[in-house]
């Protein structure tokens, strides 16, 4: 019997994502001037206020207020009418030195013996369902909001959009787990005030269905375009009005959108957030490493779908376990346990080895803080960072290194493919 599966996404202007982006902007600036910085930074945003808290060990000093304000303005909160804008909001910092009790288990004379920055389990997932090996419902949810942000910044076809928005896509699957059609799409977008609420709602609905969705569909592969038809149920701003939004409408906190950040409810999640953490925190680095493993395993043809789990003890260099689940999609006479053993031999999962393999000490994290950490395009960009004292540094930064298919040949050799 067919079944429905749903995933959601939130925009860069969603209050929780505003908090994530500020935290990751701080990470990038610390790493740009001191690549060995240890950082765990949390952000809270609300009406007219930003609160920064966390622990840092670094050789550099940052103007955290300016970094926060620049990030907010870049997102699009630039008007007093939003009750939250980068130029006028208050920024309070309570960032302090990292605990020595934590640091002693992480920093070692031999970097390769660096211990995990915390205990816990992390998951990576991949599926052949899309070209980027991501779950389809989440991929479409992200695409809708990324295109909506483009429309907002163009201020051409739709001129009333504000930064906060959410999307949700429900897909009908057949018994063999193949997507058959899109059942429903939900889009809630913040907007300017209208004189007439009823006219407003009708216009927004028309613009989303007739302008946004066709632009999203046009950028999809042909086989996915076929999933869109006239029978889709649309819920557009179902509350009827969405003028009050962003941090004024809802307090935002770092790390509250971990399912949006990963696989939209597919696979599994260990519970640890990513943003605001340097790569010594395995919540982040090992989650990227397991995604890297999962994507390369599916691309190599070992299976059509895979979940990879790794776990750690704080201060301990070797992972406590590696687990693999292929959901019965491996076509070879090999068990998931045997696959896990091969994964362990192919991929060094010590924290320092992960950092080196994926080049995680680069200032590469601001780009991850909206529209998902997984399924993105690996590319090299030039980034410039400036200090309050006029010092600046320009770096070539490789983004989303965990999305590279650079282990396919090694995996094929190991599995005899």
Burial 20-35 (b: 16+ CB within 10 A, else e): bbbbbbbbbbbbbbbb
Q: Is residue 353 part of a domain?
A: yes
Residues 238 and 288 in one domain: no
Q: Is residue 285 part of a domain?
A: yes
**241 annotated ligand binder:** yes
Its domain, for residue 289, covers: 120-128+281-415
**164 annotated ligand binder:** yes
Among 220, 245, 270, the domain boundary falls at 245
**281 annotated ligand binder:** yes
**What span, in angstroms and rounded, lies between the C-alpha atoms of 274 and 23?**
10
**Token pair belonging to 3:** 């079944």
Residues 142 and 239 in one domain: yes
Residues 286 and 410 in one domain: yes
The total domain count for the chain is 2
Per the listing, tokens 């599926």 go with 127
List average pLDDT for each run of 10 residues in the chain, which is 417 residues long: 95 98 98 96 97 95 95 96 94 83 55 79 97 98 98 96 97 94 97 88 96 97 94 94 93 97 96 96 97 98 98 93 96 95 97 97 98 98 92 96 98 94
**57 annotated ligand binder:** no
Residues 348 and 403 in one domain: yes
**Predicted pLDDT at 98:** 67
Contact 222, 43 (CB under 8 A): no
Residues 124 and 155 in one domain: no
Contact 310, 317 (CB under 8 A): no
**Token pair belonging to 163:** 């930064």
**What span, in angstroms and rounded, lies between the C-alpha atoms of 52 and 243?**
27
Residues 300 and 384 in one domain: yes
Burial 132-146 (b: 16+ CB within 10 A, else e): ebbbbbbbbbbbbbb
Residues 340 and 231 in one domain: no
Residues 241 and 160 in one domain: yes
**What span, in angstroms and rounded, lies between the C-alpha atoms of 120 and 138?**
25
Q: Is residue 15 part of a domain?
A: no
Strands 120-127 and 305-312: antiparallel
Whichever domain contains 315, its CATH number is: 3.30.300.10
Residues 124 and 199 in one domain: no
Q: 179-184: long-range contacts at Cβ-Cβ below 8 A with a sequence spacing of 24 or more?
A: 179/129, 179/136, 179/227, 180/2, 180/227, 181/227, 181/229, 181/231, 181/232, 182/140, 182/227, 182/228, 182/229, 182/232, 183/4, 183/232, 183/233, 184/232, 184/233, 184/234, 184/235
Q: What is the pTM of this model?
A: 0.95
Query: 157 by DSSP, 3-state: which?
Result: coil
**242 annotated ligand binder:** yes
Residues 326 and 393 in one domain: yes
**28 annotated ligand binder:** no
Distant-in-sequence, close-in-space partners of 334: CB < 8 Å, separation ≥ 6: 415
Q: Is residue 84 part of a domain?
A: no
Q: Is residue 82 part of a domain?
A: no
**Token pair belonging to 334:** 């090999």
**98 annotated ligand binder:** yes
**16 annotated ligand binder:** yes
Q: Is residue 256 part of a domain?
A: no
**Predicted pLDDT at 198:** 83
Q: Is residue 103 part of a domain?
A: no
Q: Is residue 32 part of a domain?
A: no
Residues 239 and 329 in one domain: no
Tally the C-alpha atoms within 13 A of residue 352's C-alpha that lie toward its C-beta.
16
Residues 217 and 307 in one domain: no
Contact 362, 397 (CB under 8 A): yes
Among 219, 245, 271, the domain boundary falls at 245
Distant-in-sequence, close-in-space partners of 360: CB < 8 Å, separation ≥ 6: 279, 285, 288, 354, 401
Among 245, 273, 291, the domain boundary falls at 245
**113 annotated ligand binder:** no
**What span, in angstroms and rounded, lies between the C-alpha atoms of 91 and 277?**
20
Q: For residue 9, which phi and psi values (nearest 5 degrees)?
A: -140, 165
Q: In the chain, what is the straight-line distance between the N-terminal and C-terminal CA atoms, in Å?
A: 34
**112 annotated ligand binder:** no
CA neighbor of 94 nearest in space, from 65, 71, 59: 65
**What span, in angstroms and rounded, lies between the C-alpha atoms of 228 and 237?**
20
Q: 223-227: long-range contacts at Cβ-Cβ below 8 A with a sequence spacing of 24 or more?
A: 224/130, 224/136, 224/140, 227/171, 227/179, 227/180, 227/181, 227/182
């Amino acid at each position: 019997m067919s079944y429905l599966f749903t995933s959601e996404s939130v925009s860069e202007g969603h209050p929780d994502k505003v908090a994530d982006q500020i935290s990751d902007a701080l990470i990038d600036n610390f790493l740009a001037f001191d690549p060995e910085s240890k950082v765990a930074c949390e952000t809270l945003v609300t009406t007219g206020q930003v609160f920064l808290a966390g622990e840092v060990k670094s050789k550099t000093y940052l103007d955290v207020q300016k970094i926060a304000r620049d990030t907010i303005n870049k997102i699009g909160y630039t008007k007093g009418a939003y009750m939250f804008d980068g130029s006028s909001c208050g920024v309070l910092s309570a960032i302090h030195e990292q605990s020595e009790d934590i640091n002693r288990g992480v920093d070692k004379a031999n970097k390769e013996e660096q211990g995990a920055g915390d205990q816990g389990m992390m998951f990576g997932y991949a599926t052949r369902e899309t070209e980027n090996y991501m779950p389809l419902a989440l991929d479409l949810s992200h695409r809708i909001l990324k295109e909506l942000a483009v429309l907002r910044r163009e201020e051409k076809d739709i001129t009333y959009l504000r930064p906060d928005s959410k999307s949700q896509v429900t897909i009908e699957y057949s018994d063999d787990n193949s997507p058959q059609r899109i059942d429903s799409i939900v889009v809630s977008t913040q907007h300017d005030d209208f004189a007439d609420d009823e006219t407003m709602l009708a216009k927004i609905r028309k613009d989303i269905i007739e302008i946004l969705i066709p632009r999203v569909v046009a950028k999809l592969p042909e086989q996915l375009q076929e999933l869109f038809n006239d029978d889709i149920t649309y819920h557009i701003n179902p509350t009827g009005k969405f003028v009050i939004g962003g941090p004024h409408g809802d307090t935002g906190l770092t790390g509250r959108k971990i399912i949006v950040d990963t696989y939209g409810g597919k696979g599994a999640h260990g519970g640890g957030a990513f943003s605001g953490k340097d790569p010594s925190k395995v919540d982040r680095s090992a989650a990227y490493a397991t995604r890297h493993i999962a994507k390369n395993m599916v691309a190599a043809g070992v299976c059509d779908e895979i979940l990879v789990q790794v776990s750690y003890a704080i201060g301990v260099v070797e992972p406590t376990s590696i687990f693999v689940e292929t959901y019965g999609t491996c076509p070879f006479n090999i068990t998931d346990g045997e696959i896990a053993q091969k994964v362990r031999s192919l991929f060094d999962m010590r924290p320092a080895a992960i950092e080196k393999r994926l080049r995680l000490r680069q200032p590469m994290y601001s780009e991850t803080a909206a529209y998902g950490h997984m399924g993105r395009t690996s590319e090299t960009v030039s980034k410039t960072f400036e200090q309050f004292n006029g010092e600046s540094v320009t770096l070539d930064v490789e983004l989303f290194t965990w999305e590279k298919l650079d282990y396919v040949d090694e995996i094929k050799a190991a599995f005899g493919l």
